Amino acid sequence: MKILIAYYSETGNTEQVAQAMYGAVAGEHDVVLMPVGEVVVDRLDGFELVFLGAAVHDSDLARPLKRLLEALPMNPRFKLAGFSNHAVYVPDGSARKEEIYSQWAGRCLPSFEDTCREKGIQFLGYFHCQGVASKPIEEFIHREIITSEKEWNEYLPESRKYPTPEDLKDAKGFARRIMDKL
Ligand SMILES: Cc1cc2nc3c(=O)[nH]c(=O)nc-3n(C[C@H](O)[C@H](O)[C@H](O)COP(=O)(O)O)c2cc1C
């Protein structure tokens, strides 16, 4: 099966996730891994499955991937799966987990779903995980979101561990589950 995995990544987190997905499916299939900027829309119909992923910017998929979604053809042959990588920290077990995720990354899934609905593309699933924030984003989070010094001192060392080996394992599992749906 011909599969494309395309990602938009400025600081390498989403790229790591894309590489993990590639590692999970490349052995058994003909898989192409490339940055979103290299995708040629007219050639997408050569693929049966397309994974598209991006860093989260302003709680949505980063613009280069949004532009690619807008440019996708109507009723194509390929099916789509999506992924994103965000800096927002959503600790397991936190009562505010859903609320925090939805505020800081919650527009990504609807962006995939709306595009697929509008363009008649079968949407197979969505994966997201945390990445390490760049310095300016760390400063923004400290200034605007985690303003208490106590919470910040707990957050900072934790936040630099992402995506964890567990996240990358989950990304592989996601890619395999998507393959199982075909
Ligand atoms: C301009 C800009 C806006 C961002 N906005 C968000 C945001 O709204 N929510 C979030 O969780 N992370 C946000 N981030 C952080 C990135 O999503 C995060 O660091 C991600 O891991 C970057 O992925 P990359 O290394 O693949 O570029 C933003 C980063 C940049 C540069």
State the sign of the Cα–Cα–Cα–Cα dihedral 96, 100, 101, 102: positive
Tokens 């003909």 sit on residue: 30
Please report the pLDDT score of residue 92 as a whole number.
67
Residue 11 lies in a domain: yes
Residue 143 lies in a domain: no
pTM of the model: 0.95
pLDDT tens-digit readout, 139-152: 998 998 888 999 88
Ligand 1 pocket test: pick from 57, 65, 164, 168 the residue with the most ligand atoms within 8 Å of its Cβ: 57
Residue 150 lies in a domain: no
In ligand 1, which atom is closest to the CA atom of 162? 21
Q: Indicate the average pLDDT of the chain.
A: 94
Ligand 1 pocket test: pick from 86, 129, 146 the residue with the most ligand atoms within 8 Å of its Cβ: 86
Q: For residues 50 and 41, is the Cβ–Cβ distance under 8 A?
A: no
Which of 115, 17, 19, 123 is closest to 72 using CA atoms? 115
pLDDT tens-digit readout, 113-160: 999 999 999 999 999 999 999 999 999 989 988 889 998 898 899 889
Structural domain range at position 96: 2-132+163-180
Residue 13 lies in a domain: yes
Residue 14's CATH number: 3.40.50.360
The total of structural domains in the chain comes to 1
pLDDT tens-digit readout, 14-47: 999 999 999 999 988 999 999 999 999 999 999 9
Residue 156 lies in a domain: no
- Per the DSSP assignment, residues forming a β-bridge with 5 are 33, 51
